[in-house]
Amino acid sequence: MQSKATYIIGAVFISYLCFVIVVMFTYEPSPEERAWEDRQAYNQQKISEIAFGQTIEDIQKIFGRADFVEAKTAEDGQYQLLYYRTHHIKSDGITTRDECTPLLFKNNKLIAWGTETYQQYVDAKILTTSDITAESI
């Protein structure tokens, strides 16, 4: 009887050990679940893998939720600016825009990222209510 219990306990232990090994090698936490240092390193690595034309949904699958978001409707389309933390500047416990890389989308497609992206966003002329006519609606 005692040897049967030993085999059962051994089998349970080996099963548990296999489960732990599988989880360790297959589980990938989402970007939001990572510590800021790990998320920043992950973002730095993944930023080199993005390409023009990717959708916001594609980018959010890679990077997760953005640290900051801005959006506007301009004369030539809708613009969204998503900021992802990529570089540490000051240890103050707060992520700021200057610690992030902006990604600019026009009509849901990635059109720019990097240092001059914010200026491109600002330069897009905002569509005002006086620009909207009954014909365009």
108: region left, alpha or beta (phi > 0 left; psi from -120 to 50 alpha): left
Count Cα neighbours of 94 within 13 Å in the Cβ-side half-sphere: 4
Question: Which pLDDT belongs to residue 109?
Answer: 97
Q: How many domains does the chain have?
A: 1
Rounded CA separation 12/18 (Å) = 10
Per-residue pLDDT 10s for the chain (137 aa) are: 567 878 888 788 888 887 777 766 776 666 666 687 888 999 999 999 999 999 999 999 999 999 999 999 998 999 999 999 998 887 777 888 989 999 999 999 999 999 899 999 999 887 665 555 544 44
Q: Could you tell me if residue 122 is inside a domain?
A: yes
- CATH code (residue 72): 3.30.1450.10
Question: Which pLDDT belongs to residue 127?
Answer: 67
Question: How far is residue 10 from each of residues 7, 14, 65, measured CA to CA in Å?
Answer: 5, 6, 43
Q: Could you tell me if residue 13 is inside a domain?
A: no
Residue 110's H or E segment, with its range, is strand 109-113
Q: Could you tell me if residue 5 is inside a domain?
A: no
Rounded CA separation 111/79 (Å) = 10
Count Cα neighbours of 105 within 13 Å in the Cβ-side half-sphere: 21
State pTM to two decimals: 0.70
Contact indicator for 40, 85 with CB cutoff of 8 Å: yes
Q: Could you tell me if residue 84 is inside a domain?
A: yes
Q: Which structural domain range is residue 93 located in? A: 31-131
Question: Which pLDDT belongs to residue 30?
Answer: 65
Residue 87 phi/psi, 5-degree rounding, is: -150, 140
